[in-house]
Structure 1
């Protein structure tokens, strides 16, 4: 029997791969033998990829054309993109009553509209051969928490979008699934990890007693990217240390 979990030789495009979870995934899939392409919002944010065996592309997810151009360019060079991982996203830390229009738009454009454009562009280049999309949502799209109103709304929308696209595109040979991480230690959660008292309080509310690390997500993402999940679409894998089980 072939190795169902192998991603060796697959062409994988990861948005938001310049730092945090995205960077860890890009380096992880590279180490597993995949051809990895990663995006960052600015040219300088992907400069490090040149010496890391990853092909970098600058694409601001708020630009209506940028991610589509990257997807078309990668596909033109490789003839296929086996897996699209939509990881790019930003968070906020503003009370709902005080959010300004600019911040609202920035979060929605990056986390939802940009992600949809990425899915749409990928569908267009892979329409004849099918494809595999992995969308990054969040447990905050499933549960409520203070200071994350618009962010939570976009992540809940990503979960619903994943289900809708899975059904709409299944007859074209596409699989569309989502990953819902819990609280993961990256620069995005530095407002927690940089404050020992707050971190201790947060971890006290997680059944496993700790925040997650990017490595904790790798197995679930490899599962969805590989042939081992070939009969799975429209689903959400929650990796949160038990937060949503309470």
Structure 2
């Protein structure tokens, strides 16, 4: 069996925490090789003139030159996976024939799916490196997501989340450490969470199952907060809890 050629990757994003997430994911996939990181499109343009790149993880909203206009300047661009916190850019990304579109904060399974879409044969999908056994504390430290708030990506530990509330165009994440408000839909947040740990109780609420103190047919109590159970969600919620 011949050895697979490494896929040379470049990360282009003006936010260091966002680059850190993608960098960590790239390292976990043995067929990916991280060649470089750039904080803006101008740096990336210079980098591409000096290095051969197979795949770019490209942020859309950046200073000086955004990702879509940067991509339009390339005559023979490598394959591109867009990364952004703004879902309204998805259509424009697909019109530019990018491989995929990852919504921040990016989950590893979604990242892997995008890379498989770009390169892996159907019979041999890319796989992450087998991880060594970890302690419970180490596993807890790996259980986190990033949310964009106050113009930066903030890490939130999943075991710290109490509940999540939709506020029109924003979402409030209430944790044991405080509250974070981010511009994101509750549906996109729900897709980032494990069904074993969280349950949607209402069109505007998601709760952490292990933080539920008590419940009735209509309400769930978490600390001092009373979370409604919507009619459309009641049967599923009560079946799960009972």
TM over 0.5, shorter chain: no
Bigger share in helix: 1
Bigger CA radius of gyration: 2
More strand by proportion, 1 or 2? 2
Query: Relative contact order: is structure 1 or structure 2 higher (C-alpha 8 Å, sep ≥ 6)?
Result: 1
TM-score (norm 1): 0.34
Given the two structures, how large is their TM-score scaled by the length of structure 2?
A: 0.34
